[in-house]
Amino acid sequence: MSGHRQPLLMLAVAAVGVALPFVIPDYRAQIAMLWALVIMAQTWDITGGQTGYNSFGNILFFGVGMYASVVVQRDVGLDFFPGLVLGMVVGAGIAAALAVLLGSMILRMRGHYFAIATLGLGIAAGEIAGGWDYLGAGSGLSPPLFPAPPGTANLFFAYLYFGVAALVFVALAALYRTRFGLALNAIRDNEDKAEAMGLHTGVYKVTAWTMAAFVLGLVGGAMGNMLGFVDPRDTAFAGATFGVWMVLMAILGGKGTLWGPVLGAVIFHITQELLWTHLLGWQRVALGVIIVGIVVFFPQGILGWARTRWPARHEHQGHGSERA
């Protein structure tokens, strides 16, 4: 994906995103979910792919956003839309604050210890929410209903998530062109060297994770209303579904690339939706097989594979400022 074709591709994807809810109106809920998954994969890749800090617990921020948003909507007493917006913003804010707090403690660990610590955080959050009466404990919470027929609700969420996904994409494309993006890559490649060159690695890592947390908080903040219920372990802190999917989608498309997570999310979501209808009862088992299969046999991802297949395309576009 060389530099001058990037805008064309982005325009094409944007056009698809705008048209899709009207081309296949029966699938608006799935379209909304697709863009939400795209965002999850994109944000996971900020630390996972670009910085080399593989988190298994980013679902924490999604779930915190979801709970915070629904609690705000429950307790503040605004109308649906102002309540939703306030809820999303509060959720994102709390998620970001948590990322700063936890990140400054656990981002000092390297490699798999960070991965396992984040896994622990994600599950602990679900367990705490599942025991806390203020959050509805095990039975969860019911968000306010969308004040219009379900078809309209899904249209709204499809465009909401598409908008966020597009913004995140553009923002990340810009971010990865800055020296901050290079600093993250430097940490990924050799953190000791990055420190030896005087980089404030700790600050950058926490910042990167906080960015991911903020966006995931936003996504979670609307997801409760879209799904119609908040459950501690099955929707909010769903480590075995969204939590691992975001890792998987980024890997499937190609870690550490701008388009990889998008591509991975699209392919994964379509595959999963197809499985859903054909393998009644066994779809979760099949998903497990897919996860293991991708990790074992295709860890470099589609773009990683393409890069080794056609290395020439990448040779002349490494301008320090211009990357795929």
Partner 1 sequence: MSAQLTIEGATKRFGGITANEDISLEVPEGRIVGLIGPNGSGKSTLFNSVVGYHPVDGGSIRFEGREITRLRTAEIARLGLIRTFQQTHVFVQMTGLQNMAISDAEAGHGLFQLMRPVSAETRERAEALLAFCGLYGKRHLMAGELSFGQRKLLELAMALMVRPRMLLLDEPTAGINPTLINGVIERLQRANREFGVTLFVIEHNMRVIMSLAEHIHCLAHGRLLASGPPEALRNDRRVIDAYLGAR
Partner 2 sequence: MAANVALLGDAPFLILQLLLDGLMIGAIFAVAAYGMALVWGVMNVINVVQGELVMLGGFIAYQLTLWGLSPLWGVPVAAIVLYFVGAGLHHVVIRRVADRDMFISLLATFGLSILLQQLMNQIWGGDVKTAQSGLGTWFLLDYTVTVSQMKVAAFGGAIAIGAVLIIFLKRSRLGQAIRATAQNPRAARILGIDTNRVFAATYGINAALCGAAGALVVMAYSVHPYIGLPYTVRSFMIVIVAGLGNLPGVIVAGLGLGAAENFAGFILGVQYQVAFVFCLLVVILVIRSTLLQRRRQFLK
Q: What are phi and psi of 310, to 5 degrees?
A: -125, 70
* Residue among 42, 43, 54, 210 that touches partner 2 (CB under 8 A): 54
- 152, interface contact from partner 2, partner 1, none, CB < 5-8 Å by kind: none
Give least dist CB 184 to partner 1, A.
10
Candidate segments 7-15, 72-80, 89-97, 122-130, binder of partner 2 by CB under 8 A: 122-130
Specify the residue, 78 or 116, whose C-beta has the smaller distance to partner 2: 116
Give least dist CB 112 to partner 2, A.
5
Specify the residue, 86 or 286, whose C-beta has the smaller distance to partner 2: 286
Maximum CA extent, the chain = 59
**CA pair distance 138, 242, nearest whole angstrom:** 19
Binding mask 285-324 for partner 2 (x = CB under 8 A): x-xxx-xx--xxx-x-------------------------
* Residue among 130, 221, 253, 301 that touches partner 2 (CB under 8 A): 130
The per-residue DSSP string of 137-158 comes to: GGG-B-PPPPSS-HHHHHHHHH
**CA pair distance 284, 266, nearest whole angstrom:** 18
**CA pair distance 36, 217, nearest whole angstrom:** 12
Report how far apart, in Å, the C-alpha atoms of 284 and of each of 96, 241, 279, 280, 291 are.
31, 9, 9, 9, 10
**Under the criterion CB under 8 A, does residue 250 sit at the interface with partner 2?**
no
Contact 223, 62 (CB under 8 A): yes
Q: Which pairs with CB-CB distance under 8 Å and at least 24 residues apart come from 78-81? A: 80/144, 80/146, 80/147
Specify the residue, 10 or 273, whose C-beta has the smaller distance to partner 2: 273
**Under the criterion CB under 8 A, does residue 111 sit at the interface with partner 2?**
yes
Burial of 283 (0-12, 13-18, 19+ CB in 10 A): middle
Give least dist CB 139 to partner 2, A.
12
* Residue among 131, 147, 151, 318 that touches partner 2 (CB under 8 A): 131
Specify the residue, 72 or 208, whose C-beta has the smaller distance to partner 1: 208
Specify the residue, 195 or 273, whose C-beta has the smaller distance to partner 2: 195
* Residue among 22, 81, 113, 134 that touches partner 2 (CB under 8 A): 113
Contact 168, 215 (CB under 8 A): yes
Report how far apart, in Å, the C-alpha atoms of 1 and of each of 5, 269, 313 are.
7, 23, 8
The token pair at 178 is: 């800055």
Specify the residue, 12 or 295, whose C-beta has the smaller distance to partner 2: 295
Specify the residue, 43 or 73, whose C-beta has the smaller distance to partner 2: 43
**CA pair distance 249, 37, nearest whole angstrom:** 8
Residues of the shown chain interacting with partner 2 in the complex, contacts defined by CB under 8 A: 54, 56, 105-106, 108-113, 115-117, 119-121, 123-124, 127-128, 130-131, 137-138, 240, 244, 247-248, 251, 281-282, 284-285, 287-289, 291-292, 295-297, 299
